[in-house]
C-alpha cells in the first residue's frame, strides 16, 4: 500500500528532523514546549543534555500512537509544523507506511471457526503464514484471507506478529466474566475529566495501558474501569502496602464493602469478588512451579488490573499470554521498561489507550509543580584514587555512597526545615548511615509491613517529618504531604525509577505547594553518567534539571 505525504516547507521551528529517524529539539526555543507536546505521543526521548534533546521514531512508538487514536497525518503534520528545515520526504513516507502496518492483520471471532486471523492485505497474510515461529499457532486455512487460530495461542500469536513487524489488532472480543455490581460512589468527590476519559478510552479498546503521572489518580481510573466492567476483578500490585491502599481507596470511592475485597499476599490468601494480589506472591516459585498462579483460574474474572505495568515480572507476562479473553488494563506513569520488553506490554496487556503529559496535569492543578536540582559533589583525592582502581562493578557503589553526600543532605534539610522530606537511596548501608546521622527512621525491604504502614501514617499525619527510604517506597505509596525528596543513589540509570521517585512528591497538597526534587551526584564518575540517563524521562515530560555545586547549598 502506498502512502501520500505532503511536501515539507522550511520554517523557524524548534525541531530538526533527520533521515536516521532522530528528532533534535532546541530546548530554549520559544515553541519548544508546544513541539515537545506534539511529538510526545509517538517519539521517545533518547538524550537530554542542556540545550538539544534527541528523540527517536520507532515502529513501536508509531504503533502505540496509532492505537491511541493518532493517525499518520497527525504525526506528519506535527513534524512539518515544528521542523526548522525541510523534513526528508523518504522519512515521511516511512512513517505513513509503518503506521499503515498496524491493523492489516486482525484477530476476530468467526461464526463457525472460532478464533481466526484475517487480513485486509492477502500478501501480508501469505508472508506471516510462512514464518516458522507461528506455524504451530495456526489451524486450517478457511479462505484466501482467513486462517484459524488455536484459542490458547491468542497472546503468543500477537507477540510473534509484533516481532515480524505486522502487529495485529485484536477484535476477538472478551468474556464478560462473573458479574459483580461495582459502582463509583461520587457522593463527596467527582472523577476528574481526564480520569473519566482514560477509563472510557480503555473500555472502548477493551484492553490496553493508561499512562498518567504519579499522583494523578491512576487508582481511580482503575475503579472507573471496574465500574464499566461490573464484574469480578483481579488487581495485581507491587507490594502489600500498595494492596492495602488499593483496598482503602476502593472502599472509600466505590460501592464495594471490605468483605467484597480480598488480599492475596505473602501473609493473607483471600479470594473474593475483587481480589488484590501482589506480583511477588504470584511469582513465588517452589520446586520449579508457581503454585499461586492457580489464582488466575480461581474465579471467572471479568477484568484484570495491572498496577505499575512497567514493572511486570517475566512470569506475569507468560501467564498474561493465556488471559487474552479477559479484559486487561495496565496503569503506569511511564511505558519505559529497563529490560526492553515494551513490545510485550503492547502485545499482551494491550497498546497505549490514553496518555496525559505530566505538565498538562500540572497546569490543571491536579499535581504539584516540581523544581528538579542536581547537586554535584567532588570526591576527595584518596576516594578518587580508590574509585579509579576499583573493579567496574564496584565503582558505582563507591561513587553513589560518597561520604560527602551526608553533608549535602544536612544542608538541604536545614534549607527546607519544617517541610516533610524523603531521603531516598539504593544501598542499605548508606541509608542506615544517613538515618543514624539524621536521627530518622529507615524503611527498607527488611521493615515489616505493619511497621512500614505505621511510619507512613506518621509521616502523613505530620508526627514524623523525615523518612529515609529504600526503593520499596518507589512504587504505589501515597504520601501527599511529601514536599522534598533527596535522592542519594539509585538503580543505576533507571528512568522509570526517576519518574516514580519524583512522583512521591507530586501528590497535590497544600495550595501553592511546590515539590523540590534533589539528586546528589559525584561528579566525574559513573554516578553522574547514570544520573543523566535517569533524567531522560523527566526531560521528556518537560522538567528541567538545574545543576548546582555542593558549595551552593552550604555543604
Q: Which residue spans within 239-342 are E strands per DSSP?
A: 261-264, 274-278, 303-307, 327-332
Distance CA 479, CA 457 (A): 9
**R_g of the chain, CA atoms, integer Å:** 25
Query: Bigger pLDDT: 339 or 546?
Result: 546
The residue-averaged pLDDT of 425-451 equals 92
The alpha helices in 424-525, defined as continuous H runs, are: 428-438, 449-461, 495-503
237: left (phi over 0), alpha (psi -120 to 50) or beta: beta
Q: Please check the confidence at residue 491 and state whether its pLDDT lies above 80.
A: no
Pairing, β 138-143 against β 146-149: antiparallel
H helix or E strand, kind and range, residue 241: helix 240-253
Axis crossing angle, helix 72-82 with helix 32-39, rounded to the nearest 10: 160
How many whole angstroms from its chain centre is CA 228?
Answer: 23
pLDDT of residue 321: 84
Lowest mean pLDDT across 141-155, 245-259, 309-323, 471-485 = 471-485
pLDDT of residue 418: 92
Q: Please check the confidence at residue 533 and state whether its pLDDT lies above 80.
A: no
The alpha helices in 88-192, defined as continuous H runs, are: 89-101, 122-129, 154-163
Pairing, β 261-264 against β 233-237: unpaired
Question: Could you give the percent of the chain with pLDDT greater than 70?
Answer: 92
pLDDT of residue 319: 84
pLDDT of residue 365: 85
536 three-class SS: helix
The residue-averaged pLDDT of 502-513 equals 69
The residue-averaged pLDDT of 404-412 equals 95
pLDDT of residue 474: 64
Intrachain domains 193-359 and 368-553 with the same fold? yes
The domain spans of the chain are: 15-101, 105-170, 193-359, 368-553
pLDDT of residue 554: 63
Distance CA 9, CA 1 (A): 25
SS3 content of the chain, % helix, strand, coil (to 5): 40, 20, 35
pLDDT in tens, 142-181: 999 999 999 999 999 999 999 999 999 999 999 999 999 9
Query: Bigger pLDDT: 132 or 552?
Result: 132
Confidence category of residue 102, pLDDT binned at 50, 70, 90: very high
pLDDT of residue 77: 96
Give residues with Cβ within 8 angstroms of 251, minimum separation 6. Answer: 257, 258, 261
Confidence category of residue 465, pLDDT binned at 50, 70, 90: very high
The residue-averaged pLDDT of 536-543 equals 71
Give residues with Cβ within 8 angstroms of 543, minimum separation 6. Answer: 358, 370, 372, 502
35 three-class SS: helix
Distance CA 136, CA 12 (A): 54
pLDDT of residue 357: 76
In CATH, 368-553 is 3.40.50.300: yes
CATH of domain 193-359: 3.40.50.300
Confidence category of residue 224, pLDDT binned at 50, 70, 90: very high
Lowest mean pLDDT across 63-67, 91-95, 257-261 = 63-67
- How would you label 288-320 residue by residue, b for 16+ Cβ within 10 Å and e otherwise? eebebbebbeebebbbbbbbbbbbbeeebbebb
The residue-averaged pLDDT of 392-409 equals 91
Q: How many CB atoms lie within 10 A of CB 149?
A: 25
pLDDT of residue 53: 86
Q: Please check the confidence at residue 496 and state whether its pLDDT lies above 70.
A: no
pLDDT of residue 50: 67
pLDDT of residue 545: 76
Q: Do 40 and 25 form a contact (C-beta atoms < 8 A)? A: no
Distance CA 147, CA 116 (A): 6
Question: Of the segments 34-43, 256-265, 484-493, which one has the largest average pLDDT value?
Answer: 256-265
pLDDT of residue 449: 85
Average model confidence (pLDDT) for the chain? 88
The residue-averaged pLDDT of 207-235 equals 93
Q: Do 25 and 52 form a contact (C-beta atoms < 8 A)? A: yes
Distance set, CA 81 to CA 12, 19, 39 (Å)? 10, 17, 11
Query: Bigger pLDDT: 114 or 321?
Result: 114
Which among 161, 160, 143, 162 has a CA at the least distance from the CA of 58?
162
Query: Bigger pLDDT: 441 or 266?
Result: 441
Distance CA 96, CA 72 (A): 5
Lowest mean pLDDT across 271-275, 401-405, 498-502, 548-552 = 498-502
Q: Which residue spans within 120-269 are E strands per DSSP?
A: 138-143, 146-149, 169-170, 207-211, 233-237, 261-264
Distance CA 76, CA 90 (A): 12
pLDDT in tens, 40-79: 889 987 776 668 888 999 999 999 999 888 999 999 999 9
Query: Bigger pLDDT: 318 or 413?
Result: 413
Amino acid at each position: 500500500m502506498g502512502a501520500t505525504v505532503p511536501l515539507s516547507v522550511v520554517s523557524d521551528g524548534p525541531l530538526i528532523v533527520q533521515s536516521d529517524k532522530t528528532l533534535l529539539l532546541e530546548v530554549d526555543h520559544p515553541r519548544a514546549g508546544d513541539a515537545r507536546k506534539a511529538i510526545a505521543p509517538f517519539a521517545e526521548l533518547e538524550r537530554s543534555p542542556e540545550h538539544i534533546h534527541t528523540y527517536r521514531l520507532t515502529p513501536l512508538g508509531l504503533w502505540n500512537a496509532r492505537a491511541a487514536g493518532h493517525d499518520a497525518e497527525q504525526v506528519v503534520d506535527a513534524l512539518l509544523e515544528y521542523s526548522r528545515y525541510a523534513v526528508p520526504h523518504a522519512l515521511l513516507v516511512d512513517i505513513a507506511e509503518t503506521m499503515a502496518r498496524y491493523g492489516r492483520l486482525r484477530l476476530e471471532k468467526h461464526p463457525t471457526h472460532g478464533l481466526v486471523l484475517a487480513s485486509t492485505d492477502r500478501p501480508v497474510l501469505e508472508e506471516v503464514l510462512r514464518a516458522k515461529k507461528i506455524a504451530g499457532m495456526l489451524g486450517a486455512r478457511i479462505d484466501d484471507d482467513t486462517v484459524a487460530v488455536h484459542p490458547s495461542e491468542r497472546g503468543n500469536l500477537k507477540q510473534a506478529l509484533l516481532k515480524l513487524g505486522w502487529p495485529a489488532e485484536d477484535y476477538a472480543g472478551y468474556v464478560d466474566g462473573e458479574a459483580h455490581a461495582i459502582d463509583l460512589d461520587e457522593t463527596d468527590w467527582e472523577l476528574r475529566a481526564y480520569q473519566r476519559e482514560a477509563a472510557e478510552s480503555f473500555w472502548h479498546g477493551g484492553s490496553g495501558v493508561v499512562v498518567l503521572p504519579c499522583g494523578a489518580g491512576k487508582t481511580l481510573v482503575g475503579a472507573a474501569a471496574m465500574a464499566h466492567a461490573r464484574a469480578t476483578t483481579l488487581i495485581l500490585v507491587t507490594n502489600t502496602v500498595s494492596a492495602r491502599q488499593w483496598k482503602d481507596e476502593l472502599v472509600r470511592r466505590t460501592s464495594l464493602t471490605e468483605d467484597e475485597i480480598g488480599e492475596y499476599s505473602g501473609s493473607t490468601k483471600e479470594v473474593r469478588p475483587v481480589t488484590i494480589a501482589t506480583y511477588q506472591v504470584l511469582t513465588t516459585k517452589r520446586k520449579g512451579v508457581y503454585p499461586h498462579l492457580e489464582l488466575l483460574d480461581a474465579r471467572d474474572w471479568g477484568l484484570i488490573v495491572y498496577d505499575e505495568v512497567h514493572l511486570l515480572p517475566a512470569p506475569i507476562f507468560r501467564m498474561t499470554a493465556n488471559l487474552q479473553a479477559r479484559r486487561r488494563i495496565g496503569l503506569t506513569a511511564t511505558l519505559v521498561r529497563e529490560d526492553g520488553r515494551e513490545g510485550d506490554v503492547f502485545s499482551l496487556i494491550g497498546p497505549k489507550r490514553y496518555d496525559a503529559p505530566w505538565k498538562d496535569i500540572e497546569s490543571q492543578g491536579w499535581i504539584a509543580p516540581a523544581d528538579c536540582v542536581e547537586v554535584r559533589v567532588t570526591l576527595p583525592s584518596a576516594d578518587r584514587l580508590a574509585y579509579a582502581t576499583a573493579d567496574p562493578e564496584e565503582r558505582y557503589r563507591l561513587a553513589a555512597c560518597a561520604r560527602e553526600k551526608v553533608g549535602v543532605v544536612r544542608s538541604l534539610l536545614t534549607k527546607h526545615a519544617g517541610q516533610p522530606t524523603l531521603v531516598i537511596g539504593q544501598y542499605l548501608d548508606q541509608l542506615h548511615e544517613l538515618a543514624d546521622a539524621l536521627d530518622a527512621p529507615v524503611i527498607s525491604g527488611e521493615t515489616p509491613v505493619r511497621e512500614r504502614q505505621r511510619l507512613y501514617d506518621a509521616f502523613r499525619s505530620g508526627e514524623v517529618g523525615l523518612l529515609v527510604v529504600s526503593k520499596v517506597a518507589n512504587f504505589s505509596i501515597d504520601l501527599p504531604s511529601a514536599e522534598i525528596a533527596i535522592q542519594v543513589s539509585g538503580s543505576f540509570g533507571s528512568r522509570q525509577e526517576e519518574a516514580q521517585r519524583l512522583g512521591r512528591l507530586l501528590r497535590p497538597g497544600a495550595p501553592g505547594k511546590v515539590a523540590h526534587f534533589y539528586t546528589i551526584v559525584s561528579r566525574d564518575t559513573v554516578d553522574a553518567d547514570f544520573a543523566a540517563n535517569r533524567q531522560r524521562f523527566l526531560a521528556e515530560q518537560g522538567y528541567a534539571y538545574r545543576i548546582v555545586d555542593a558549595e551552593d547549598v552550604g555543604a
